[in-house]
Each structure stands twice: as C-alpha cells, then as structure tokens.
C-alpha cells in the first residue's frame, strides 16, 4: 500500500498499522464542543484592553482565536484551495517531495517523520516547508498548482506580519523591551499542512499525536471539517470552526520565556468518517543557534528553566519525552 494516504482511494477498513491500542483510541465519535475559547478582535478600539485579553488568554487558556486580524478572507480561501489541490495531484508528483529527513526544507511525509519505526501510524499526510527568507526557500517549493508560489508567498508574508503584531502585544503585556521576539528568536518560519482522508473507523485511529506545540507560537487555519480537540479539565473537547478566524497557540518556547506564566495546551486531531480534512499551520521558532531562556525582566526570584538551544529541546521532546510537554519541560527546569 502507498505510504501517502492522499494517494489512497475507496478505503473500506483501517489497516492494522493504523489501529491504536484501546487506551489510546478516541473510542467514540461524539465529543462536546468547547464554547469558551477566547475570541479576540484585533481591531478593537481599545488597544490596551486587547493586549490584556491576549495575555489573559495565554495565561488562562493557552488557545485563542482572532478576528479582524488583517489576513484577507480571499487570501485564506485561496491558500486553503491551493493545498486541497496539491493533495489531489498525482502521486508521482508528490513523490518528488517525499522525505523523512528533518533537515530537508520542503517535504511531504505520512504519519510522522519516524514512519519506518513507528509501531502505529497516524491518519495523515503532512506537507511542510520553510518560509523565511522567501528568496532562499521559494525555489524548493512546488510549481504545481501553477499559482502555488504566488499565493503561498503572500500568505507567508501576511501571517508573519500577524505573528509580529501578536508578539509585540505579548511583549508589551509582559513588560518586555520592544522587539524582544524579533531576530533569532523568531527566525524559523514554517508552513505545515495536515491532510486527512475520510476514515472508515474514526474510533480506532488518530489524525495527529496527543501533543503540545514545541515551537515559539503557532497559527492555525482550520477548515470546515471538525477534528481538532483540546484536553480541558481531563476531557477531550472539540474546537468549533469559525469561518476566517485564526487560532493562535503559544508554544512551549513562549512558556519558557514567560518563566512559566503561559499555558501551552495539550491537543490532538481525530479523523472524520466522510469528509476530507485539510488544515494550515504556520509556525515561528528560534534559530538553531539561539539560546532560549526565561526573559530576565520576568525573573523575580529564580529562573524556572535553564538556557537551551532549540534543537536540544526538540531532541528531548520527540525522543525522550515522546511528545509529552511536561516531561520535556521538566528536563530543562532549573535546579536552583
């Protein structure tokens, strides 16, 4: 069977290698929908109040959604359509980008980058590539669909502007010096698109691992098909799709920099029995050489974490901790 599930057709059963142990399965198809995720209007006429809303959301919930964010509805729709078209392209074309090499700047893979050694596979294909700087990375992007580079370049530029706006708000809200998150701390800029074909038995498998985001900050454009869930008060709860909103998720690096003030929620993706689900994730993270540590201005007694380089954190997060955020963070907690 083809590794890429986007090349499959007429799937009537879940292959054995995609069936999770009973304790790890969703087990049911109906979940409650979360109704209290903060929805923040970035065009609010009181900027200071908006900043406080962002800070409260980062501290109390760890997810928030933004409206009037500056990324046009047409651009969001065009970009989503580009990716839906991409995953429909012939398998021979997508095979040109297939790789499990973490260092390759533009690649498609299935399940995880450890497909060959994973005991159980996730019901997804992922297409990801770097976006900063555009001039450096665009030549490695697909040339199909024909307007891919044009549309995704604009989307990359506009979402990076939005990231910078939100990070500036966080900066001000925490009392950090202006521009704290600029430069090496937010140099790595990725788009990562997850694609899930209809699954005949959604109760048996998962579309993504249970995890927290290890990077600095994430922006997610959901499609209309449900699947994203967050773990709240010990219960899995669905995240409702609101057209043309963007979900913002503070990553674990932001939790470290805030000296443990921010939350980074555990989430996962379940599959859908009838509909194809495609979502666009945009990620900012530190450059490999940059030392991440709590911001000095936020240390009142002692830092909660020691300094580390991002690749060191990822090695622990993926390898030792197996995507368990608390286990990974505890590895870097300050002993003082």
Per-position DSSP letters for 245-259, written without gaps between them: -EEEEE-HHHHHHTT
Strands laid side by side in the 33-34 sheet: 33-34, 235-239, 228-232, 267-269, 208-211
Question: 106 is in which domain, residue-wise?
Answer: 5-302
Reported as half-sphere exposure (CB side, CA atoms, 13 A), residue 207 has a value of 27
Cα 111 to chain centroid distance, Å, stands at 15
Q: Is residue 49 one of the residues assigned to a domain?
A: yes
The count of structural domains within the chain is: 1
Taking each helix axis as running N to C, give the angle between helix 47-60 and helix 148-174, from 0 to 180 degrees, rounded to the nearest 10: 90
- pLDDT tens figures, 130-153: 999 999 999 999 999 999 999 999
Q: Is residue 22 one of the residues assigned to a domain?
A: yes
Q: Is residue 202 one of the residues assigned to a domain?
A: yes
Q: Is residue 212 one of the residues assigned to a domain?
A: yes
Tell me what percent of the residues of the chain surpass a pLDDT of 70: 99
Burial class (CB in 10 A: 0-12, 13-18, 19+), 99: middle
Mean pLDDT score, 219-245: 94
CATH number reported for the structural domain that contains residue 210 in this entry: 2.60.120.330
Largest CA distance in the chain: 60
Of 11, 55, 1, the closest CA to residue 274 belongs to: 11
- pLDDT tens figures, 20-59: 999 999 998 889 998 889 999 999 889 999 999 999 999 9
Please give the Cα distance from 212 to 132 (Å, whole number): 23
- pLDDT tens figures, 155-192: 999 999 999 999 999 999 999 999 999 999 999 999 99
Distances (CA, A) of 200 to 12, 16, 119, 128: 6, 13, 20, 26
pTM for the structure as a whole:
0.96
Q: Is 274 helix (H, G, I), strand (E, B) or coil?
A: coil
Q: Is residue 267 one of the residues assigned to a domain?
A: yes
Q: Is residue 321 one of the residues assigned to a domain?
A: no
Tell me what percent of the residues of the chain surpass a pLDDT of 90: 90
Q: Is residue 93 one of the residues assigned to a domain?
A: yes
Mean pLDDT score, 120-125: 98
Please give the Cα distance from 238 to 256 (Å, whole number): 27
Please give the Cα distance from 204 to 16 (Å, whole number): 10
Q: Is residue 48 one of the residues assigned to a domain?
A: yes
If you ran DSSP here, which 8-state letter would residue 193 be given?
Answer: E
Terminal Cα-to-Cα distance of the chain (whole angstroms): 53
Q: Average per-residue pLDDT in the chain?
A: 95
Neighbours of 208 (CB within 10 A): 23
Q: What is the pLDDT of residue 336?
A: 60
Q: What is the pLDDT of residue 320?
A: 85
If you ran DSSP here, which 8-state letter would residue 333 be given?
Answer: B
Burial class (CB in 10 A: 0-12, 13-18, 19+), 224: exposed
Residues with Cβ < 8 Å from 28, sequence gap 6 or more? 203
């Amino acid at each position: 069977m083809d590794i890429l599930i986007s090349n499959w057709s007429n799937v009537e059963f879940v292959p054995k290698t995609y069936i999770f142990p009973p304790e790890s399965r969703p087990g049911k198809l109906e979940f409650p929908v979360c109704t209290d995720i903060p929805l923040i209007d970035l065009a609010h006429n009181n900027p200071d109040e908006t900043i406080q809303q962002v800070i409260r959301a980062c501290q109390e919930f760890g997810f928030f959604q933004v409206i009037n964010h500056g990324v046009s509805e047409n651009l969001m729709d065009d970009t989503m359509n580009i990716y839906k078209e991409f995953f429909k392209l012939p398998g021979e074309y997508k095979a040109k980008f297939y790789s499990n090499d973490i260092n390759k700047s533009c690649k498609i893979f299935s399940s995880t980058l450890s497909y060959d050694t994973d005991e159980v596979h996730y019901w997804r294909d992922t297409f990801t590539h770097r976006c900063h700087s555009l001039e450096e990375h665009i030549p490695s992007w697909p040339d199909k669909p024909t307007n891919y580079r044009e549309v995704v370049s604009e989307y990359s530029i506009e979402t990076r502007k939005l990231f910078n706006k939100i990070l500036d708000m966080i900066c001000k809200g925490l009392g950090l010096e202006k521009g704290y998150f600029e430069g090496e701390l937010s140099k790595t800029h990725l788009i990562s698109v997850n694609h899930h074909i209809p699954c005949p038995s959604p109760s048996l498998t998962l579309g993504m691992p249970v995890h927290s985001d290890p990077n600095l900050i994430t922006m997610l454009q959901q499609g209309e098909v449900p699947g994203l869930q967050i773990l709240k008060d010990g219960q899995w709860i669905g995240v409702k799709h609101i057209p043309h909103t963007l979900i913002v998720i503070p990553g674990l690096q932001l939790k470290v920099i805030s000296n443990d003030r921010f939350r980074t929620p555990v989430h996962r993706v379940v599959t859908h029995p009838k509909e194809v689900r495609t979502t666009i994730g945009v990620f900012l993270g530190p450059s490999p050489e940059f030392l991440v540590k709590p911001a000095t201005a936020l240390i009142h007694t002692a830092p909660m974490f020691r300094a580390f380089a991002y690749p060191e954190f990822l090695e622990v997060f993926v390898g030792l901790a197996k995507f368990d955020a608390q286990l990974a963070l505890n590895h870097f907690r300050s002993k003082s």
